[in-house]
Structure formats: C-alpha cells, structure tokens
Amino acid sequence: MFGKDARRFAGQISGQVEKLVGDHLSKKDGNRSKTETPTEQLGLVGGKRKALFVGINYFGQKGELRGCLNDVKNIKEFLEANYPLDEVMVLTDDQTDDPDGMPTRANILRGFQWLRQGATSGDSLILHYSGHGGSIKDEDGDEEDGMDETLCPVDYASAGMIVDDEVHAVLVKGLPKGVRLTAIMDCCHSESMLDLPFIYNVNGDLEIVESTKAKGIAKMVATGVRYALDGNKKALMSNLQTGFSSLMNKGGGSGDKNEAARKKTMETRSTEADVISFSGCKDSQTSADATIGGEATGAMTYALIKTLKGTHVMEYTDLLRTMRQTLDGKYTQVPMMSAGRRLNLSSQFSF
C-alpha cells in the first residue's frame, strides 16, 4: 500500500515533528536536554592502518549465533577493497586448529594490546567486534545507569567476561595524540562498551543532559504522525516501545547519582587520541542477529556496510543517521556514536 518513497517521507516528517515537540518541551522543562557543539578537530590519517576483527558464533553453546563470522568476512572484505590494511588480526571461533586464532578472553585482550602496540600520530586503528554483549552491576560509580557493559569471549563461561572498564584500560587509555581508533561494536548493550564520555546525536552535537521524559513524549507523538502517513505497524510498535521506555525513565535521568557518574567518566575516560565508537544499540538494548538477503548477519554491520557502499564520501553524522534509517522499523535497536574527546564529527568519515 505504501511505497518506499512514502515511507522515507513519513520518516523525515516524523523526525521533524519529534524535534519540534522535543524543543518545545525542553523550553518548559528546568532539566531540559542540553547539547554542546564540539570544536576539536580530527587529526589526519597518513600512517599505517591496523585492524582487529573478532567474530564469535558460540558453536554448540547456549545462545549460539549465526551471523558473526559472516560479519567479520564482510567487513574485512569491504575494508580491504576500500581502505588498504597494513596489518590484520582475525579472531573467530571456527579456527579450532589454531588456539591463537580463537576469540578467548586472553586472546581478545592480547588482540587489543597488539592493535595499539607501537601506534603513533597519524596511524589508524580499527576494531570490529561481532558477538554477544552483556551487562553487570557497576561497582565503581562511573555508569549513569548503574550497569557495566561486557564483551562475551567464546570461553566466557569459564574465563569470565571482559568488562567495559577493562576494554578502556587495555585498548584506549594512554593512546597517543593523533592516533585514530575506530571501533565497530555489533553486540547487545554496546553504547558505552569503550567507556567513552561523549555521546553524539545525528546533528553532530554532544548530548550533555538527556531529559528522557521529554524525549519519550516527543517520540510517541512523532510515532503517531508517522503511522498516520505510512501505516507501518512494525515501526509503530518499535518507536512506541522506545518512547515509553524513555517516558518511564529507564536507565536515564539527571539525578545527583547520574551527574556524579557522568562527571567521573569525563574525568577518567577522556582521551588525547581520536577514539570513535559506533555501537549496534543503546546500553539498554539488544542487537539483532538477523537474516538479510538470505545471509545471516548482524543488523548493525549490515547497515554500516550498506551505507558506506552507497557512497564513501559522507560525514560521520550522516553515517549514523543513515544507519539508523536503514534499521528503523525493522529492528528496535538504535545505533549510537561516541568519542573520547569533544571531536567535531560533522566532518568527512574515514577509517
């Protein structure tokens, strides 16, 4: 009944309605949503390019996945065709004859150390992870939602998960100025998997204080407008769920505890290097292990490759926006973008 152009038009109109309603509510709210326009520039990439790929299907385990090895294959092929790689490490759980190639806890941490080893200004480091992500109770007070995010190695049941604090300490902390690290985290609960302090919206602004109730109301109003225009029931249910979750203030808010956690993250997780993370979803969400075009794949990795294949010349914020539009109405997850310092990401994307 409704064609592709009608759905695209409905999405654009509902987005404008959501912004207008959100802005109106923000003016009435003392804890209104605030943003900051970042001014720090990305350094130039002219050195070596290293990449670490991690894919885990968890063969024979509870919660076995199907698309993670395909994600590694597809993103690696795309990068090699468009961004020549000088050094590559691949950790996948089909390498049963090579213990060093298995994505165990020890090997993933070793991979993080390998990726950053010897990095100097102008180098580009790339991390792609496709597998399970989890969350556990935060013990050191640096998480606004009270939960630490975790990666699940193939041997997590015996060796344990990798907590986001450890990811940051081993991979991110102390990276030299001028080094660029681009992380693609296609897993559940992944928004703050690198523990980066600066979260971006699709306009390239930093989200400083999130007024979740106002955002929830705005999302639900915009959803009604969209459904009236295109009749997309899947998008209706997905967006209503997102809006209702914000309205009920799950995992958000601007109370004293959250402010303290935000302040601690700013003080302890800011970086001199250009560290940028694209995540498959918000910390409170799950990422889909999907089947698209007859192939098992992570929804976020699929959206990233599809977007970049369309045009290699685009801004970081355009990439985030297009990825979200690709998944909108099909999956509940919302891809996110974060950084280790106040980078101006309304600049041209590049690995």
Supply the pLDDT for residue 37: 87
H-helix or E-strand spanning residue 246: helix 233-247
283-312 pLDDT, tens per residue?
888 888 889 989 999 999 999 999 998 776
Q: Which residue has the higher pLDDT, 169 or 256?
A: 169
Q: In whole angstroms, what is the distance from residue 231 CA to residue 41 CA?
A: 42
Residue of 300, 125, 269, 124 lying closest to 198 (CA atoms): 269
Average pLDDT, the chain: 82
pLDDT digits (tens, 9 = 90+) for 133-162: 998 876 665 555 567 899 999 999 999 999
Lowest average pLDDT, out of 112-116, 138-142, 316-320, 334-338, goes to 138-142
**pLDDT, average across residues 251-260:** 51
What are the pLDDT digits (tens) for 156-214? 999 999 999 999 999 999 999 999 999 999 999 888 899 998 988 888 888 764 444 55
Q: Is 150 exposed, middle or buried (0-12, 13-18, 19+ CB in 10 A)?
A: buried
Structure-model confidence comparison of residues 15 and 335, the more confident one: 335
CA distance 50 to 47: 10
pTM for the complete prediction?
0.78
DSSP 8-state secondary structure symbol assigned to residue 41: P
Instruction: Read off the pLDDT of each residue in 211-240 and give the average, rounded to a whole number.
Output: 57
The pLDDT > 90 percentage for the chain reads 52
Cα–Cα distance for residue pair 184/193, rounded to 1 Å: 10
Give per-residue pLDDT as tens, 30-71. 444 567 889 899 999 999 999 999 999 999 999 999 999 999
Predicted pLDDT of residue 168? 95
Indicate which residue of 68, 152, 187, 188 is catalytic. Answer: 188
For this structure, is 188 an active site residue?
yes
Give residue 135's pLDDT.
87
Task: Give percent of the chain with pLDDT exceeding 70.
Answer: 70
Of 102 and 7, the one with more pLDDT:
102
Element housing 89 (H / E): strand 87-92
75-84, 178-187, 320-329: least confident range: 320-329
Q: How many CB atoms lie within 10 A of CB 258?
A: 18
Which residues on neighbouring strands pair with residue 343, listed in sequence order?
40
The greatest distance separating any two alpha carbons of the chain, rounded to the nearest whole angstrom, comes to 62
- How much is the average pLDDT of 339-347? 92
Q: Which residues have C-beta within 8 Å of that of residue 136, sequence separation ≥ 6? A: 147, 148, 150, 161, 163
- CA-based nearest residue to 195, from 241, 152, 142: 142
pLDDT at 242 over 90: no
128 catalytically annotated: no
**Choosing from 128, 132, 168, 189, which is the catalytic residue?**
132
253 pLDDT higher than 50: no
Query: What would the mean pLDDT of 268-292 be, rounded to a whole number?
Result: 88
Q: Strands 336-339 and 198-200: what pairing?
A: antiparallel
pLDDT of amino acid 288: 86
Q: CA-CA distance, 248 to 258, in Å (whole number)?
A: 16
Backbone angles phi, psi at 255, to 5 degrees: -75, 175
* pLDDT given for residue 1 in this prediction: 46
pLDDT tier, 112 (very low <50, low <70, confident <90, very high otherwise): very high
